[in-house]
Amino acid sequence: MSLKKLLCVSLMCFGLSLVYAAAQTQPAAGPPAAAPATPSSPAKAAAAPLPDPKTPEEFFARARQLSDLEASGIPFHLKATYVASGNTEFTGNGTYEEWWQSKDLWRKEATLGDYKYVEIKDGDKHAVYASSDYVPLRLRQMLEAVLIRIVPNSGSARDWKLKHKKINGVDLVVLSVDRPCGNEIKCLAADYFMPKGVLRIHVDRSMQKLYNGFDGFYGLAIPHSVAVAGMNGDVLTISITSLQPLSSSESQMLQSVAPPPNLRSILLPSVANQKELMSDKVTRSRITDQIAPIYPPAALQKRMEGTVVMEATIDEHGRVREPFVISSPGSLLDMAAMDAVKQWRYRPLIINGVPICVTTTISVVFHYRP
């Protein structure tokens, strides 16, 4: 689904959400000033708002101030459900639950069908437990999309382009930038804001996240509905079903968490000690068996050529799991490229003698020869 079509459909279907989101650009009413956010931790005072952002820096700062729940410093307990679809290995219904006390103390639990995932941060301890070493693609994409997260200085790059668009009568501010996404290929990243700073759509590496159903929570505007689309259509529909302040008992639970039963401990590169990743204890992943793609006849007839860039996970056995296209010269080449790389084999990434899953970028080049 093209971004233009996604925008047109979403803005027509969610017109009421747009109006409500605009109303939420000023901090929503919270509890009385004397009431704490939780019995154990008071709500963090909101920073002075940026009522009329002008520059990329100000738009990203305002969106972070409005809707980045984890950056707010307000402890919370969130529950969500989601539906995963599309041409991939794991699809179906899933759940998500997060208990967040601070950036150094939180717990996240997720399911997708029978698959289960738990991630725990407790000071210096950062552990991941799961049903298997491989984490399904749609579950990972859900973890990235369920909440708006904006890293500090997101908009400080000088190459951000700012322009105004009116879609179905709605004014939007669009910030865009080209970023490398593999083998000198660049992928467009873009963010669509309401004029007062509410982030409505985030596009990066072919994935489009649409935020809707904004509601107030302690002075924040939190989207309760998130739709994620890839190059070939919708892949995730996420609904936040409950968002509450973290209770005293939940805060205590976070400080005395034991490893969950019936799940194995797994190591992700993002969780691994960075010094270990740079040490001689690491055996790098590399390809050992590469199958050439079959050139689709329809693409040959159209003399189509170019590079299909995919992201995929190399699992602990060196297999390529759930590749998805992030840049392509045309859809006719996409399936041929994915069918080929699914047959490739790698030497897995090994840390301290243990093979682990790692996400990588794979490029497949098609050269037309008459």
Q: Give 297's Cβ-side CA count (13 Å radius).
A: 0
Are 165 and 301 members of one domain? no
Confidence band of 23 (pLDDT split at 50, 70, 90) = very low
Q: 293 with 260, same domain? A: no
**pTM score of the predicted model:** 0.84
Q: Same structural domain for residues 30 and 167?
A: yes
What's the pLDDT score for residue 158? Answer: 84
Question: Which of 250, 266, 282 is a domain's end point?
Answer: 266
- Please tell me whether residues 79 and 228 are part of one structural domain: yes
Q: Residue 307: helix, strand or coil by DSSP?
A: strand
Contact 236, 226 (CB under 8 A): yes
Q: What is the pLDDT of residues 168-221, one digit of tens each?
A: 899 999 999 998 887 678 888 999 999 999 999 999 988 999 999 999 999 999
Q: Are residues 248 and 281 in the same domain?
A: no
Q: Are residues 229 and 331 in the same domain?
A: no
Pairwise pLDDT comparison (270 vs 86), residue with the higher score: 86
- End position of a domain, from candidates 249, 266, 283: 266
Co-location of 203 and 248 in the same domain? yes
Give the mean pLDDT of 98-104. 96
Buried b (16+ CB within 10 A) or exposed e, 65-86: bbbbbbbbbbbbbbebebbbeb
Residue 21 has pLDDT above 70, yes or no: no
The whole-angstrom separation of Cα 51 and Cα 366 is 49
Three-state DSSP at 70 gives: helix
Q: What is the pLDDT of residue 152?
A: 87
- Determine the pLDDT at residue 273: 58
Cα separation, 71 vs 86, in Å, equals 31
CATH number at residue 353: 3.30.2420.10
Provide, rounded to the nearest whole percent, the portion of the chain with pLDDT above 90.
Answer: 64
Confidence of residue 284 (pLDDT cuts 50, 70, 90): confident
Whole-number average pLDDT of the chain: 84
CATH number of the domain residue 176 falls in? 2.50.20
In DSSP terms, which residues pair with 92 in a beta bridge? 84
Q: Are residues 242 and 278 in the same domain?
A: no
Residue 28 per-residue DSSP state? P
Token representation of residue 257: 């968490």
> 219-262, pLDDT tens digit by residue?
999 999 999 998 878 899 999 999 999 999 999 999 877 889 99
pLDDT at 309 over 60: yes
> What integer pLDDT is reported at residue 44 of this predicted model?
42
Range of the domain at 74: 3-266
**Last residue in a domain, options 221, 239, 266:** 266
Distance of CA 176 to the CA centre of its chain: 18
Claim to verify: residue 254 and residue 304 sit in the same structural domain = no
Higher-pLDDT residue of 359, 18: 359
Residues 260 and 291 in one domain: no
Tokens of 145: 């999309």
How many domains does one find in the chain?
2
pLDDT band at residue 48, thresholds of 50, 70 and 90?
Answer: low
Q: Are 262 and 292 part of one and the same domain? A: no
Strands 207-217 and 199-204: antiparallel
HSE-up of residue 251 (Cα within 13 Å, Cβ side): 16
Q: Are residues 259 and 303 in the same domain?
A: no
* Mean pLDDT of the 356-370 span: 89
Integer angstrom CA distances of residue 20 from 92, 106, 331: 31, 30, 37
